[in-house]
Amino acid sequence: MVLIGVFAVLMLFSAFIGVENTAEQNSIRETYQEQVHDDYVNQPDRNPHRVSHYGYLVFRERPALSFFEFGIESFAGNSIFLEAHRQNTVNLSEAGFSNGMLRFGELSMALILQLLVPLFIFFIGYGTLADLKANGVLKIMLAQGVSAKRLIWGKTLGIFSFTTTVFIGAMLLIFSIAFVAYPEAITPAVLLRSLFAMALYTVYFFICSWITVLISAKSSRGGAALISLILLWMLCGIILPKMAQNVGYALFPAPSKLEFETRITEDLEQVGDSHDPDDAYYTSFREKTLAEYGVDDVKDLPFNYAGHLMAEGERVTTELYRSHFDELIATYTNQNSIAAYLSFINPYLMVRNLSMAATGTDMAHYIDFQKQTEDYRYRQTQYFNELHKNEVDAERSGTQRLNSARFNERDPFEYENRGLFWALSNNVITLLALVFWLMLIVLSFSFGFKKIKLY
């Protein structure tokens, strides 16, 4: 009862901090997003190329369930500046403005359920069979006809049902209070993600209960079982996750931000410079355009060649950047795959990965935000290039201004939220690990547990 009280205080505290932080962060970002948009649409008459360089700042809204599972939210950037000719990264993470204490982790409901509740299960269940074995009661029970399979099944269900009632019940209560306090966060997609998260942790608690009873059955006394369980907890919760991170980085090293941008700059120099009139690629592009329209000079084209050239330069640089970006993401995916494969032997890694995916706080959702903002930036820039091409006089290419109403026609950026199945499709290996653990439990009760070691 004391442990339950301690865990209740921790969960309530972490829930309050999570809900308050998520609501505050989203409120701040929404306020500044409105300010940015108002400044953007209230621009004076301008040259369209100037507007494309004026840019647009997009803030990343925190997912509705990030109050429960922080994931990488504190370490991922929350704003990105969109402008012509440049593909910027998402910047201004909370970790960048915090002290070194953040590296020790943040107290979230998910962290409590993933790391501390298994400890709770171990402490209440380590002696279920080991103590019966030590005092001789287990031998009497087996002699009276109770099968080892039924005994292990009953002890597992006992620990699991108690743990699930307490912690999944608390999880359901806190979710309900959070959604009542912030009803705008409730959508069918969020509810589906919430239900999956509860089901996921229910399975996780059963796996922990099952492991506890198995180790208790294999141990000669309760003290030995407890030591084994604590060592297992340290291995799964501390050593293996850190090892997965280090091994992933060693096998698939990722370039630094400076190296990444340097490689892009070097490749751009090889492709060509649209601002250089003697550049080989763009000279060829000009000759091709002149031949296509049957004229000898760009002044004779039925449009402003400067806008046409800028559109081609934007296309080339965007393709190059996206190619490098995809390579970088492939590297990160390979790094994270180490933890995914270790999920087959470590249920903590399995539940951590799927929990972040279900709540939208994993790397896949962060990358999806970057890709959607990049698509928006490209469409926005090419829209201005088309205006420059078709509505700006070639002789006044750098000075002519268009009515600001032409710039206000563009819709503001809105992130397209992904569904649960999209999120899970990015974690196929971890999902297979979940299926593996379920099959292992089913097979153990179907074909194993013929007898329990009595000494």
Residue-wise pLDDT for 253-291, tens only, equals 988 878 888 888 888 878 776 666 677 888 888 899 999
Q: What is the largest CA-CA distance in the chain?
A: 103
Residue 442 half-sphere exposure toward CB, CA atoms < 13 A: 7
Taking residues 53-72, report their average pLDDT.
89
Spans of all domains in the chain: 114-235
Please check whether residue 56 is in contact with residue 86, taking contact to mean a CB–CB distance below 8 angstroms.
no
Please check whether residue 10 is in contact with residue 116, taking contact to mean a CB–CB distance below 8 angstroms.
yes
98 — pLDDT class (breaks 50, 70, 90): low
Check whether 409 has a pLDDT greater than 90: no
Close Cβ partners of 131 (under 8 Å, ≥ 6 residues apart): 221, 222
pLDDT value of residue 336: 92
Closest CA to 358 of 186, 193, 114: 193
Taking residues 8-12, report their average pLDDT.
87
Higher per-residue pLDDT: 408 or 369: 369
100 — pLDDT class (breaks 50, 70, 90): very low
Check whether 93 has a pLDDT greater than 70: no
Distance CA 233, CA 60 (A): 35
Please check whether residue 296 is in contact with residue 290, taking contact to mean a CB–CB distance below 8 angstroms.
yes
pLDDT value of residue 447: 76
Q: pLDDT by residue (tens digit) across 416-425?
A: 999 999 999 9
82 burial (CB, 10 Å; 0-12 / 13-18 / 19+) is buried
Distance CA 261, CA 88 (A): 10
Check whether 6 has a pLDDT greater than 80: yes
pLDDT value of residue 154: 92
Tokens of 91: 């910047």
pLDDT value of residue 454: 60
Query: Could you tell me the CA-to-CA distances from 181 to 155, 190, 317 in Å, in that order?
Result: 39, 15, 46
Distance CA 323, CA 328 (A): 9
101 — pLDDT class (breaks 50, 70, 90): very low
| Count of C-beta atoms within a 10 Å radius of residue 153 | 16
pTM beyond 0.75, yes or no: yes
Q: Which amino acid is at 46?
A: R
pLDDT value of residue 150: 87
Distance CA 240, CA 339 (A): 8
Distance CA 95, CA 116 (A): 24
342, β-bridge pairs: none
Check whether 296 has a pLDDT greater than 70: yes
Q: Which amino acid is at 131?
A: D
Give the E-state strand segments of 75-218 in sequence order: 79-83, 86-87
DSSP string, 58-85: EEPPPPGGGGT--TTTTTS--EEEEETT
Please check whether residue 112 is in contact with residue 7, taking contact to mean a CB–CB distance below 8 angstroms.
yes
Closest CA to 148 of 372, 444, 360: 444
**What are the strands of the beta sheet with 79-83, ordered from one edge?**
56-59, 79-83, 86-87
Q: pLDDT by residue (tens digit) across 127-185?
A: 998 888 888 888 888 888 888 888 889 999 999 999 999 999 989 988 888 888 888 77
Distance CA 432, CA 409 (A): 47
Q: pLDDT by residue (tens digit) across 220-251?
A: 888 999 999 999 999 999 999 999 999 999 99
